[in-house]
């Protein structure tokens, strides 16, 4: 008997960070080419293209209603629009419903906040972009400063580029180490940033003001959300 196909659903909403989505999507799409066991889809409330925080617009391949029982959901993050999406009942409701039967719920960057709003982080270790890691306790999570964190059926990745690391881990988990190694060679993922690794003792001071801007604009008109997020930050 043929095993049912396992659907990996990347969830999109307006204003997301494009690399949060496209990086891990590129990696996990390799599973589609490897055989019929997996299929990778991009789901949104409608099929209309959504904006990102770059000039790129993304057209979902399926609607939420068309993918009700994915094997895994992967949620990208972003800045102001992601905080605004915490109040999007359709989006949060889809995440909560899909996670009831999914084997895995994953996030990249501040997408973890959306998982938290859907009730998926309570009692778990989690991570997110370092600027917003202290917001995780608002959802009952224990913040962890790691590239990605796996706790039961939930895996959260740190900021933006960490989504590629997370996706390679998932390929290894789903298809084995050799498959993950082939994908890593295929995308030539061998980072050598021109300024070297990040020095966490020398964080640019102006990024603190960026955090405040995102919080102020993202939570504007939502005092209940602001109180929830900042009560323990």
Catalytic residue positions? Answer: 109
Q: Are strands 104-108 and 72-75 parallel, antiparallel or unpaired?
A: parallel
């Amino acid at each position: 008997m043929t095993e049912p196909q396992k659907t990996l659903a990347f969830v999109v909403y307006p204003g997301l960070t494009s690399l949060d989505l496209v990086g891990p999507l590129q990696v996990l799409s390799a599973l589609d080419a490897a055989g019929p066991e997996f299929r990778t889809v991009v789901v949104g409330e409608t099929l209309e293209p959504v904006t990102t925080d770059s000039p790129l617009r993304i057209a979902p391949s399926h609607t939420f209603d068309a993918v009700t029982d994915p094997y895994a959901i992967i949620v990208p993050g972003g800045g102001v629009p992601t905080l605004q999406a915490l109040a999007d009942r359709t989006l949060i409701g889809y995440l909560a419903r899909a996670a009831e039967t999914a084997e895995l719920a994953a996030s990249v960057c501040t997408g973890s906040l959306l998982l938290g709003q859907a009730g998926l982080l309570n009692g778990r270790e989690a991570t997110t972009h370092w600027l917003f890691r202290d917001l995780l306790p608002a959802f009952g999570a224990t913040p962890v400063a790691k590239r990605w964190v796996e706790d039961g059926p939930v895996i959260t990745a740190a900021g933006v580029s960490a989504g590629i690391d997370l996706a390679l881990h998932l390929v290894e988990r789903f298809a084995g180490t050799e498959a993950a190694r082939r994908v890593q060679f295929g995308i030539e993922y061998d980072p050598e940033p021109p300024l070297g690794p990040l020095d966490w003792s020398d964080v640019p001071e102006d990024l603190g003001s960026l955090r405040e801007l995102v919080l102020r604009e993202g939570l504007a008109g939502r005092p209940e959300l602001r109180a929830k997020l900042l009560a323990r930050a």
